Amino acid sequence: MKKSDVIKRIISVVGEDNVKINEPMSRHTSFKVGGPADIFVTPGSDLEIRDVLKIFRDNGFPVYVMGNGTNLIVRDKGIRGAVLKIYDRFNAISIHGDTLSADAGALLSCVSKQALEAGLKGIEFACGIPGTVGGAIAMNAGAYNGEIKDVVYSVDAIDNDFNIITISGPKLEFGYRISTISKYGYTALRARFKLGHGNYEDIKDRMETLTRRRKEKQPLNLPSAGSTFKRPEGHFAAKLIEDSNLKGVSVGGAEVSKMHSGFIVNNGNASASDILELINIVIDEVYKKFNVRLEPEVKIIGEE
């Protein structure tokens, strides 16, 4: 099927307003970099997501599924293929007793706030994580001694045969920055969180404390993708980078943050190439000094 015919079929599923051609990905990543995606789609339901995935894959179009782009670098030449952004049209949150259900496009910050309002504890650690539920499930996101695996008990997803399935318990295969979703290339639709009843003020105090710590220690005023590198076994990436005298080192508009060396930031005019070159410099220098090879935590996609 020709590209134009594929686009017409996609529009018939999600509506014309939810399909963009040659959409700059710099508009959709927290780093504020990235060239255009050939086709950019914002689906709004389980069936729309499933049908769009099937149309693209049946017609040989590569597809990348994203949330709100907070853990993503898109290269400067952009993406040859399609991007599905599961975010503002697919973000419902509901609470029944001590169970919170959230669509994949819901922000973790919104999930934690809804839990607070319901007097539910256990997900305070996620109040400052900027990503969506779908991304958090895929990578088992975590912060301040908490991880998604600690509170998620089941996930609805689309498997590689386009079946909508529910995965729970050990079958979620949560590990450090990995899960069944990312391991097998499934698409997360929603998660159910099992939380505990708690005192509103205690939960609020915990969230405020974590928010204050983030503001004091992280460069939240500049575009970034959060922690740039995975935690190497037995080490802390930020300490290795700082001890390699890399804090403040820059390439173009990209810089190893002077505030927190685990962050690479965009000082305002960085390209994706600047950021990627700086990532490679950090990896090489840390390896030379400590014989530890850092791995990017941020996802890197797009045309070389």
Closest CA to 137 of 71, 196, 78, 202: 71
Would you say residue 207 lies in a domain?
A: no
**Domains contained in the chain, number:** 3
Which residue among the candidates 173, 242, 277, 297 is catalytic per the annotation? 297
243 with 267, same domain: the answer is yes
Q: Copy the structure tokens of residue 286.
A: 């840390």
127 with 57, same domain: the answer is no
191 with 99, same domain: the answer is yes
Which residue among the candidates 89, 177, 214, 231 is catalytic per the annotation? 177
* Number of C-beta neighbours around residue 98 at 10 A: 17
First vs last Cα of the chain: how many Å apart? 26
Q: Copy the structure tokens of residue 58.
A: 């049946």
Range(s) of the domain holding residue 63:
3-85
Is 227 catalytic? The answer is yes
* Domain end (from 29, 53, 85): 85
State the pLDDT at residue 75.
98
Closest CA to 142 of 172, 92, 179: 179
Would you say residue 213 lies in a domain?
A: no
In contact, 283 and 264? CB cutoff 8 Å: no
The 8-class DSSP code of residue 281 comes to H
Specify the CATH number for the domain of residue 250.
3.90.78.10
The 8-class DSSP code of residue 90 comes to S
108 with 129, same domain: the answer is yes
235 with 154, same domain: the answer is no
Specify the CATH number for the domain of residue 37.
3.30.43.10
98 with 81, same domain: the answer is no
* Domain end (from 149, 173, 202): 202
In contact, 210 and 128? CB cutoff 8 Å: yes
154 with 80, same domain: the answer is no
Which residue among the candidates 227, 244, 257, 261 is catalytic per the annotation? 227
β-bridge pairing 142-143 and 146-147: antiparallel
Cα angle, residue 221 at apex, residues 219 and 226 outer, rounded to 5°? 45
Is 177 catalytic? The answer is yes
State the pLDDT at residue 304.
84
198 with 159, same domain: the answer is yes
Specify the CATH number for the domain of residue 179.
3.30.465.10
77 with 115, same domain: the answer is no
- How does pLDDT run along the chain (304 residues), one tens digit per residue? 889 999 999 999 999 999 999 999 999 999 999 999 999 999 999 999 999 999 999 999 999 999 999 999 999 999 999 999 999 999 999 999 999 999 999 999 999 999 999 999 999 999 999 999 999 999 999 998 899 999 999 999 999 999 999 999 999 999 999 999 999 999 999 999 999 999 999 999 999 999 999 999 999 999 999 999 999 999 999 999 999 999 999 999 999 999 999 999 999 899 999 999 999 999 999 999 999 999 999 999 999 8
Would you say residue 35 lies in a domain?
A: yes
* Domain end (from 85, 107, 128): 85
196 with 98, same domain: the answer is yes
pLDDT tens-digit map of 131-175: 999 999 999 999 988 999 999 999 999 999 999 999 999 999 999
